[in-house]
């Protein structure tokens, strides 16, 4: 069975490029308290928006959908789930809320991961959560001709429980020893979790929930205000590429963690850049709300939608954004393209 040597592996992959990535995130972490202390009211709005975005994005990656309106109602507990997809969305909401409110007190032991998986399926009829897989699973892809190819064969079902115990015990020992940077340790753990693939269903969503939990525990909390899951969704082709690259040779202990680590640290860095940018925009009281909309369009390369503007400025009402867009179109500053949900705007 595969063993887990986090400290030894981390020493081998701590290249100069990796050090620069980690140093940049340390700098972001050092500044985050200043942003958090200065913008209490606005942060509450960003938090609520990120919860909706995270729940929607993480489920969409797995092919689980509902309408935007239903998604918001489910996340804000204004509606009960109507079908299997919405049951799974409601379950994700529950685990995400648990992590947001209790991350300091959640220690990622194998038994705790089972409990979180149980709660992920707490609304799902006919599906069992909180139990390891009872049959072997594979990670496959289907080509344009409909031919399925096995991309990775995870740990067999009969070895899963022991593999999870070994993984969590080794991880927690490395975490407590504090000899390697947790920014290296967390993506390594997540990759190993995905290679074990311990559940019949929900492995991808659980990996993203565990990612948030561990980043929060390490003090990197930008993901509470900027949806890390949505950033992954927007770059999911790259995500699957690095997952495949870093899983090659995993069973033999010869895999290369670097592509997966760099991807994850890049996502976290983007979350911090977005977080700091939005807070600075909110802090600039000299700008009117319509001026802030114009500034966001100025900074955008290519098209931007009304929904994206609402996500970037959750403290600005939909009506105010619509008025600002209409005025900018009228003045010829921006142009409108598409219709209905496909409507977008770009600088003239």
- Per-residue pLDDT tens over the stretch 134-182: 999 888 766 667 777 778 899 999 999 999 999 999 999 999 999 999 9
Q: What distance in Å separates the CA atoms of residue 108 and residue 217, rounded to the nearest whole number?
A: 10
Q: What is the pTM of this model?
A: 0.90
Give me the pLDDT at residue 124, please.
Answer: 92
Q: 3-state class of 102 per DSSP?
A: helix
Distance CA 304, CA 176 (A): 44
Region of 302 (left: φ > 0; alpha: ψ -120 to 50; beta: rest) is left
pLDDT at 128 over 90: no
Whole-number Å distance between alpha carbons of 226 and 230 = 8
Q: How much is the pLDDT for 142? A: 67
- 96 versus 10: the higher-pLDDT residue is 96
Query: Measuring CA to CA, which residue among 269, 262, 280, 228 is closest to residue 24?
Result: 269
pLDDT category at 38 given cuts 50, 70, 90 is low
Using the Cα atoms of residue 135, residue 136, residue 142 and residue 148 in order, give the sign of their dihedral: negative
CA–CA separation, 231 and 217 (whole Å): 20
Tell me the per-residue pLDDT of 73-107, one tens digit each, with 9 for 90 and over.
999 999 999 999 999 999 999 999 999 999 999 99
Are 43 and 24 in contact by the 8 Å Cβ rule? The answer is no
Dihedral of CA 90/92/95/101: which sign? negative
In angstroms, what CA-CA distances link 38 with 33, 282, 295, 307?
9, 10, 22, 26
Measured between alpha carbons, how far is 123 from 63 in angstroms, rounded to an integer? 18
Neighbours of 256 (CB within 10 A): 17
What is the share, in percent, of the chain residues with pLDDT greater than 90?
Answer: 74
DSSP 304: B
pLDDT given for residue 39 in this prediction: 65
Identify whether the C-beta of residue 219 lies closer than 8 Å to the C-beta of residue 46: no
Mean pLDDT of 102-127: 95
Provide the CB-side half-sphere exposure for 255 (13 A, CA): 27
Q: Delineate the domains of the chain, giving CATH numbers in brackets.
A: 6-282 (1.10.3290.10), 288-347 (1.10.10.10)
pLDDT tens-place string over residues 250-271: 999 999 999 999 999 999 999 9
pLDDT tens-place string over residues 243-255: 999 999 999 999 9
Helix (H) or strand (E) holding 150: strand 148-152
80: exposed, middle or buried (C-beta count within 10 Å: 0-12, 13-18, 19+)?
A: exposed
pLDDT class of 22 with cuts at 50, 70, 90: very high
Pairing label, strands 148-152, 139-142 = antiparallel
- The percentage of residues in the chain with a pLDDT greater than 70, rounded to a whole number, is 97
Q: Kindly tell me if the per-residue pLDDT of 42 is higher than 80.
A: no
Query: Lowest-pLDDT range, 71-75, 129-133, 209-213, 341-345?
Result: 341-345
Beta bridge partners of 335: 346
**Which residue from 61, 80, 60 is spatially nearest to 70, judged by alpha carbons?**
80
Is there a contact between 293 and 309 (Cβ–Cβ < 8 Å)?
yes
- The crossing angle, in degrees rounded to 10, of helices 203-217 and 110-120 is 120
Distance CA 154, CA 326 (A): 53
Handedness of CA 209, 71, 49, 56 (dihedral sign): positive
Q: What is the mean pLDDT of residues 7-28?
A: 93
Q: What mean pLDDT is reported for the chain?
A: 92
Is pLDDT of 285 > 80?
no
Residue 79: left (phi > 0), alpha (psi -120 to 50), or beta? beta
For residue 40, what pLDDT is reported? 65
Taking the C-alpha atoms of residue 332 and residue 193, their distance in angstroms, rounded to an integer, is 52
Assign 35 a pLDDT band (cuts: 50, 70, 90).
Answer: confident
Contact 31, 276 (CB under 8 A): yes
Q: Which ranges of 103-202 would DSSP assign to H, the alpha helix? A: 110-120, 157-177, 182-196
Instruction: Assign 239 a pLDDT band (cuts: 50, 70, 90).
Output: very high
């Amino acid at each position: 069975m595969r063993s887990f040597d986090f400290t030894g592996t981390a020493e081998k992959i701590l290249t100069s490029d990796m050090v620069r990535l980690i140093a940049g995130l340390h700098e972001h972490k050092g500044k985050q308290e200043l942003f958090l202390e200065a913008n209490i009211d606005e942060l509450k709005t960003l938090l609520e928006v990120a919860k909706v975005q995270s729940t929607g994005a993480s489920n969409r990656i797995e092919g689980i959908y509902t309408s935007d309106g239903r998604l918001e109602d489910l996340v804000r507990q204004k509606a009960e789930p109507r079908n299997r997809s919405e049951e799974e969305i409601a379950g994700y909401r529950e685990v995400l809320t648990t992590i947001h409110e209790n991350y300091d007190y959640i220690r990622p032991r194998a038994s705790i991961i089972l409990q979180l998986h149980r709660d992920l399926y707490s609304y799902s009829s006919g599906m069992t959560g909180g139990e390891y897989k009872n049959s072997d699973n594979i990670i496959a892809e289907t080509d344009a001709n409909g031919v399925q190819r096995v991309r990775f064969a995870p740990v067999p079902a009969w070895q899963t429980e022991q593999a999870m115990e070994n993984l969590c015990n080794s991880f927690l020992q490395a975490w407590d020893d504090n000899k390697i940077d947790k920014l290296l340790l967390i993506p390594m753990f997540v990759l190993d979790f995905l290679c074990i693939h311990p559940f019949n269903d929900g492995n991808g969503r659980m990996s993203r929930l565990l990612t948030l939990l561990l980043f929060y525990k390490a003090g990197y909390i930008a993901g509470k205000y900027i949806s890390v899951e949505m950033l992954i969704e927007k770059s999911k082709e790259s995500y699957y590429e690095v997952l495949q690259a870093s899983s090659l040779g995993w069973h033999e202990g010869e895999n290369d963690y670097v592509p997966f680590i760099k991807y994850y640290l890049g996502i976290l860095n983007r979350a911090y850049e977005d977080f700091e940018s939005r807070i600075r925009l909110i802090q600039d009281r000299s700008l009117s709300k319509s001026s802030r909309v114009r500034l966001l369009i100025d900074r955008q390369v290519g098209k931007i939608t009304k929904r994206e503007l609402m996500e970037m400025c959750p403290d600005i009402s939909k009506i105010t954004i619509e008025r600002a867009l209409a005025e900018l179109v009228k003045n010829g500053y921006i142009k409108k393209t598409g219709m209905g949900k496909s409507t977008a705007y770009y600088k003239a």
